[in-house]
Amino acid sequence: MSLFINPYDKDLPQKVLQLKPIKGYCFIIDIAGSTELKDIDLSKWIIFIYNTFANIMGNLFMKFNPIKSLGDALMFFIPEDNMQDENPLTLFHALWNIISSDEPNLREVKIGASYCSDAYDITFVPDTYDIYGKDIDLTARLSSIAESQEILMNRAWVEKVREEYERTGKPNAYPEIELIKGPWPVKISGFSEYQTIYKVTK
């Protein structure tokens, strides 16, 4: 469980001082146009969302579980040490497959993705797992401004993906790497400095 930030815990200041940032991969996958979707029959829009979430989990190798759902979005955080048999490139490839689907029983999605060096294993709700930090906030902002069937990424995420891509020596296996566009400096709410972002769009 994450460290519960309990204001009544007399040892909380000491526990907070002992916190160390966790490096990892955060991404938020949001169903595009989900509010309008709910204008149709209840039984139909529930199935659309279920199918879309099931497709997301299938593409993520059924091993990376979301931390939480935010409305019709799923938030994931994968510590770098927990990547197991996967790597930044295979993770990016999975996200590309998710935004690229043309299945009629699925809804289009948009994704914000960040490699995080400023993330902390804390929660404000007892007995739950959660992650907080400036990089997590950036991921949420990227998800909110992404277009349908698009992934917006921070510089660190793209650098990790490209490093792994160069190591594979298999350019034909991941053609979507060549579709990454950027960098652009973007002013994002809550950040004093411009953020460097990249994008890939189906």
DSSP the chain: -PEE--TT-TTHHHHHHT-----EEEEEEEETTHHHHTTS-HHHHHHHHHHHHHHHHHHTTTT---SEEETTEEEEEEEGGG-TT--HHHHHHHHHHHHH---TTS--EEEEEEEESS-B-EESSTT----BSHHHHHHHHHHHHPPTTEEEEEHHHHHHHHHHHHHHT-GGG-GGGGG-EEEEEE--TT-SSPEEEEEEE-
Per-residue pLDDT tens over the stretch 173-183: 899 999 999 99
Mean pLDDT of each 10-residue bin along the chain, 202 residues long:
93 95 97 90 93 95 88 95 91 96 93 97 95 96 97 98 90 91 94 95 94
Amino acid 61: pLDDT:
81
Instruction: Kindly report the pTM of this predicted structure.
Output: 0.94
Per-residue pLDDT tens over the stretch 45-78: 999 999 999 999 999 987 889 999 988 999 999 9
Amino acid 78: pLDDT:
96
CATH code at 3-201:
3.30.70.1230
